[in-house]
Structure 1
């Protein structure tokens, strides 16, 4: 064969072994394998068996002659790696679809109130509003979605939280009283009881539901009838794992006082004093006993009752809420049509729940609160500033 080329490719033994491994292993990219074969056929060193021209290599590998020449020239000028790997094409930078001013308007509109009649912004709604208000003449929903993602905007998601009251000193004072109470030991003569209230709506089926069968889910009609509401009173002993829940037509002072009398005289008749944790409703005080009963009876009950109020916006400190949440999921997540049926189902749940004697073991203490909730302590910032200004 004729030579037909000026520059020679001279591969060492190690280079040939490496290129042969690449061309045979089958794991490298197809372009890299092809370029390795081209370099092996271009070799004119002592290890080369045949001498190939560019035309012969191109014909054997089904390539153009100029492609073979470019690979050989890249090896001679730049080295082995640039000759093996495919040269990446530099793509021209894509101009942004929207500029900074338009993006700022999209963010401002997304953070504003949605149009009248809409609960929140959606990508489709915001895209149409941008065109309607002539912020842009043309924009796609994908561009709006990328703007949301870039700026971490999620208008369809709402986080709920409880803001402590403005009087932080009062909040932390009441909080520490409750925390110390939970972390203290309690005997049978002075039990710790947590109570909370809730309301439930009574609903009845307009049409009889169809029961579940193999291969068929239970079905019930969307229509229902309202049968009134009931007030729930939950009493929970977190140390003994005992709870009692009852339903009443109202949640007045008299209702609360009657529930307290049942707690003291029926549930804990031998207790010298009951420590009651409840929230800050105006019915949860000793005055309700005097409104419901004669003075002698109210005084007798009040002497055996010690009330601890959770701070405002601090209902998370009342563990009775845990039991109410479990009650809602396990028992009340269905339609109940009458107070009698509700009472029957509550008693069945109460008996089954008391068999397990599930307790609540409280670990969050006052020292923990002073670390994790230090932003609630009004004097904390002054102490930190004094420490930072103190000489070393």
Structure 2
């Protein structure tokens, strides 16, 4: 400190932990599934996907749109489950990964944004309280039958992501924006 200067204090933020929220939405029915966990691990992802598969026992294939987190792969199943069970679980799903600069294509990311604005816009003291708040939020969305009317087409995605397509392969210039 300099002589004759005011005393200065630094704001100290104390982080009391973090956690992971795993969630899924069935767009046309508004059904949602959410889990709050202490960590984001391959084990947590595997148990979530196993739970998701149990919700659709008659489905031949469950299409899941995911971001590119390192835990979001069918390889996680093989690290956690016996090979035979991992294969059965992996065969239940078709994973579609959103491009890294386009997480807005993933409907659950939009839902997380709404969750953040409507529910998580304050400090929550414990993981138990957080879990209670998140589950209450998702239950309310289910009860209100809030569905997703997704109108974004593959062609729109190609136009919006054109600069990334061109970086990968210049022949993709054909996907020009037509506005």
Q: TM-score range by the shorter chain?
A: 0.7 to 0.9
Paired with 2:111 and 2:139, the residues of 1 have a C-alpha distance of 14
Deviation at 1:241, TM superposition (A): 1.1
Cross-structure match for 1:343 = 131
Specify whether residues 381 and 359 from structure 1 end up closer, same or farther in structure 2 by C-alpha distance, changes over 3 A only: same
Cross-structure match for 1:379 = 171
**Residue pairs, 1:32-51, within 5 angstroms:** none
Deviation at 1:294, TM superposition (A): 1.2
Paired with 1:311 and 1:274, the residues of 2 have a C-alpha distance of 20
What runs of 5+ residues in structure 1 fail to find an aligned partner? 1-221, 385-392
Cross-structure match for 1:233 = 22
- The answer to whether structure 1 residue 363 and structure 2 residue 155 are counterparts is no
Deviation at 1:315, TM superposition (A): 1.3
- The answer to whether structure 1 residue 245 and structure 2 residue 34 are counterparts is yes
- The answer to whether structure 1 residue 280 and structure 2 residue 68 are counterparts is yes
1:117-158 residue CA offsets vs partner (Å, 9 max, x unmatched): xxxxxxxxxxxxxxxxxxxxxxxxxxxxxxxxxxxxxxxxxx
Deviation at 1:371, TM superposition (A): 4.8
Residue pair 2:33, 2:52 contacting (<8 A) in 1 also: no
Paired with 1:335 and 1:342, the residues of 2 have a C-alpha distance of 9
Deviation at 1:247, TM superposition (A): 1.0
Please give the secondary structure, in 1, of the residue aligned with 2:47: helix
- The answer to whether structure 1 residue 332 and structure 2 residue 120 are counterparts is yes
Would you say how many aligned residue pairs link Structure 1 and Structure 2?
162
Specify whether residues 367 and 356 from structure 1 end up closer, same or farther in structure 2 by C-alpha distance, changes over 3 A only: same
Deviation at 1:269, TM superposition (A): 2.7
- The answer to whether structure 1 residue 353 and structure 2 residue 145 are counterparts is no
Specify whether residues 371 and 344 from structure 1 end up closer, same or farther in structure 2 by C-alpha distance, changes over 3 A only: closer
Deviation at 1:361, TM superposition (A): 1.6
- The answer to whether structure 1 residue 320 and structure 2 residue 88 are counterparts is no
Specify whether residues 382 and 309 from structure 1 end up closer, same or farther in structure 2 by C-alpha distance, changes over 3 A only: closer
Specify whether residues 347 and 367 from structure 1 end up closer, same or farther in structure 2 by C-alpha distance, changes over 3 A only: closer
Cross-structure match for 1:309 = 97
- Could you say which structure has the greater relative contact order, defined with CA pairs below 8 angstroms and 6 or more residues apart? 2
Query: Please, what is the CA RMSD of the aligned residues?
Result: 2.5
- The answer to whether structure 1 residue 292 and structure 2 residue 80 are counterparts is yes
Paired with 1:330 and 1:313, the residues of 2 have a C-alpha distance of 25
1:253-284 residue CA offsets vs partner (Å, 9 max, x unmatched): 1111111111112x223322211110122211
Please give the secondary structure, in 1, of the residue aligned with 2:100: coil
Specify whether residues 295 and 285 from structure 1 end up closer, same or farther in structure 2 by C-alpha distance, changes over 3 A only: same
Specify whether residues 226 and 270 from structure 1 end up closer, same or farther in structure 2 by C-alpha distance, changes over 3 A only: same
Please give the secondary structure, in 2, of the residue aligned with 1:313: helix
Paired with 1:306 and 1:364, the residues of 2 have a C-alpha distance of 20
Deviation at 1:239, TM superposition (A): 1.7
Range with bigger deviation, 273-282 or 223-232: 223-232
